[in-house]
């Protein structure tokens, strides 16, 4: 991806992030309140975290692994509420292991 396209996508991401976060901060739902309100708040939070993942993935230079881990942890945890049968929260257990302690994995292509 060329630098101009990357910069444009990152800027658009910040614009979207600002709007989603404004709605999220104004949303008054609480976990023990009406479930439809809570789920709507969780959807906004999921969108916010997805935008953070976009920003982390497209930022120039090496990917910041701590930010990647944090975004993935949040996305999996929130998504677990929508897909409880998938065990997504459990998938977060190994995100913060030191690389030497992690199970072997296939290298990136």
pLDDT tens-digit series, residues 15-25: 999 999 999 99
User: What single string gives the DSSP state of each residue in the chain?
Assistant: --HHHHHHHHHHHHHHHHHHHHHHHH----TTS-HHHHHHHHHHHHHHHHHHHHHHHHSSSS--HHHHHHHHHHHHHHHHHH-GGGTTGGGGGGTTS-GGGSPP-PPP-
Q: Provide the pLDDT confidence category of residue 106 given band limits of 50, 70 and 90.
A: very low
What is the model's pLDDT at position 18? 96
In this structure, is residue 31 part of a structural domain?
A: yes
In this structure, is residue 106 part of a structural domain?
A: no
In this structure, is residue 29 part of a structural domain?
A: yes
Which residue segment(s) compose the domain that 15 sits in? Answer: 3-101
In this structure, is residue 107 part of a structural domain?
A: no
In this structure, is residue 96 part of a structural domain?
A: yes
How many domains is the chain built from?
1
In this structure, is residue 30 part of a structural domain?
A: yes
Across the chain, mean pLDDT equals: 88
In this structure, is residue 108 part of a structural domain?
A: no
């Amino acid at each position: 991806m060329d630098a101009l396209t990357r910069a444009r996508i990152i800027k658009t991401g910040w614009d979207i992030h600002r709007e989603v976060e404004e709605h999220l901060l104004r949303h008054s739902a609480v976990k023990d309140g009406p479930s439809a309100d809570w789920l709507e708040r969780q959807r906004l939070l999921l969108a916010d975290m997805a935008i953070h993942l976009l920003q982390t993935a497209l930022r120039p230079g090496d990917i910041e692994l701590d930010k990647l881990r944090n975004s993935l942890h949040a996305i999996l945890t929130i998504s677990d509420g929508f897909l409880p049968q998938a065990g997504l929260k459990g998938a977060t257990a190994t995100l913060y292991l030191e690389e030497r302690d992690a199970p072997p994995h296939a290298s990136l292509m």
